[in-house]
Structure 1
């Protein structure tokens, strides 16, 4: 990826350097985030937790990930991504963490509707677990925002849910949610106009009290900022 992500911009700043982490189920995320150039540590695909101070949970997840293989060659099952991320949050206490779950997309591509729905339900539970934990920890409580979104939609017809892209009607439609001390609790909103994923980066910087340095990024989603 030749572009600089918001994670890389943050990691270049002294106050955030070493305090940015990323976890993903798809093995392409080290290249999307450009781990080598950005310096942002990325645990994705079938990466294991590394280091001399592994926790009991990390050692257990490492072992189980090597014993349980999912149905895809380049995407691991989301429980491994989630539990590596949760341990990373508790252990390294980052200021910014990016988590990319992948099961819903891959089960849909495979036409496994029951697994697709099950994984969506499980992702909801993971998001709840993250929120409950940050609200239980004094360092993060009432100082943490979660922004939750997806990279694409699955179309608007009964047969389009297995795929996405230019050939799928409305396959580019996404949704976004935000919860945190600086976001009004407005519930589901109907807005005039259109939001775009390109607006997320500048919105995150706004929530962090900074201006986004890339002029190509979209405008702040003002409805997400109190």
Structure 2
């Protein structure tokens, strides 16, 4: 009898641990290198006034004697929460490698690969052309219980083309698109979006506005799948503003901590939500001025990283060694986290099996 109860308890426990997530948050940080994610600030850039105008202030904010201290100071939520409750891939110093598989190494090809699981040679520019490929977001929006429960908030206007808002029917708030205010908070966000300085042009909304607009939507609509895409990290890097780039990444880390705390107070999300964070491409590193650039003329800017936590994700922390992973595996992994197999009329990379397991 005891054996029967033991086996019954064991199988119930395993079944509970293996339950997929019910909700998903995908986050992208445009052009953020794995080097900063795993090592924190780069001293050759941080202490150079060409890239960090106020080096004394930058030192106080980001410098520490060891890589572990620097990265925890730089991104405390990523390392103190996701690093302990989930997984991180892409520290090449530990033999964990993750690459894009598209041949271009810049933004739209990367976003297509993340979302569709397919490195499509037809997408070879950053032109705002509707994505011909079905994305995992569109796929999920067609599944029972998810229809009308998928939403996209992006700083860069090309993302609405990457998710093909017209065909998929998924609402994609991007760039400086005017909102439809319902509450006083909505009105304030709409006014800020229209009036706040557009430092990087009309096609880019300030990342803080993207976050708070999405946060308001989560409170009001409670989507089951949320895609948050931040862009100023890449713009600041191209401008050669290293310390400002670090500040923006750190701000996004705070936004994600705030979002995670918010959803833990909401019954629909608490204990039922997976979060996956990644980048569309990497950046150069040698000589240091190449940090500003990416693309096929910039060595190693195909190198990316990924972090994840939540139901269905094993809690093994920072990864080392293992097979090379690819950006085209992310889409199927997202679907699998929600208990689906992503299938469409184009090839799709396989899920990352090592990420999905019993907690």
Do the two structures share a fold, i.e. TM-score over 0.5? yes
Alpha-carbon shift at residue 13 of structure 1 (Å): 2.6
Alpha-carbon shift at residue 139 of structure 1 (Å): 1.1
> Higher RCO, 1 or 2 (CA under 8 Å, sep at least 6)?
2
Verify: 1:71 aligned to 2:199, yes or no.
yes
Question: Structure 2: any 5+ residue segments left out of the alignment?
Answer: 1-130
TM-score by length of 1: 0.95
Question: Structure 1: any 5+ residue segments left out of the alignment?
Answer: none
Alpha-carbon shift at residue 106 of structure 1 (Å): 0.5
Query: Deviation above 3 Å: which 4+ runs of structure 1?
Result: none
Corresponding residue for 2:189? 61
- TM alignment of 1:149-160, pairs within 5 A: 149-157=278-286, 158-160=288-290
TM-score by length of 2: 0.61
Alpha-carbon shift at residue 15 of structure 1 (Å): 2.1
* 8 Å Cα contact 1:109-1:162 kept in structure 2: yes
- Of the two, which has the highest radius of gyration? 2
- TM alignment of 1:137-176, pairs within 5 A: 137-157=266-286, 158-176=288-306
Q: SS of the counterpart of 2:276? A: strand
RMSD: 1.3
Corresponding residue for 1:132? 261
* 8 Å Cα contact 1:155-1:172 kept in structure 2: no
Of 321, 324, 342 in structure 2, the residue corresponding to residue 212 of structure 1 is: 342
Cα distance in 2 for partners of 1:44, 1:130 equals: 19
Q: SS of the counterpart of 1:160? A: helix
Cα distance in 1 for partners of 2:338, 2:233 equals: 30
Verify: 1:30 aligned to 2:160, yes or no.
yes
Alpha-carbon shift at residue 35 of structure 1 (Å): 0.5
Q: Higher helix proportion, which one?
A: 2
Aligned length: 224
